[in-house]
Amino acid sequence: QVQLVESGGGLVQAGGSLRLSCAASGRTFSSLGWFRQAPGKEREFVAVISWSGSSTFYADSVKGRFTISRDNAKNTLYLQMNSLKPEDTAIYYCAGRSGAPRVGPHDYDYWGQGTQVTVSS
């Protein structure tokens, strides 16, 4: 059974940091990504990474503040989030796909259940 399980979300003050993790089981993924969805909004791309980690892409809104990484030996994806802002508040999802990284949520076949990130002002 393929599973993606996120952890590390929580409540943090603006300017603070959080590190999200996503443990994959049941298979490995060529590309992994983080997406988020705020109340009343569409799910949006945050960051994606290739198998080797040599290719990463970030949404403009998080560039310079967030860092995506992966540990293939542990089959785990990470998202280091620094300088958090209230507008980063959302449910964060990890997703996996075969093939090259893509930024569209519809390009991903497997999803975790999400972890809530709340940034207070």
pLDDT tens-digit profile of 54-84? 999 999 999 999 999 999 999 999 999 999 9
At 69, list the tokens: 């990484």
pLDDT for position 48:
98
In this prediction, the residues of the chain whose per-residue pLDDT falls under 50 are none
Integer-rounded Cα Rg, in Å, for the chain is 13
- Exposed/middle/buried for residue 110 (C-beta within 10 Å: 0-12, 13-18, 19+): middle
What pLDDT was estimated at residue 39?
A: 93
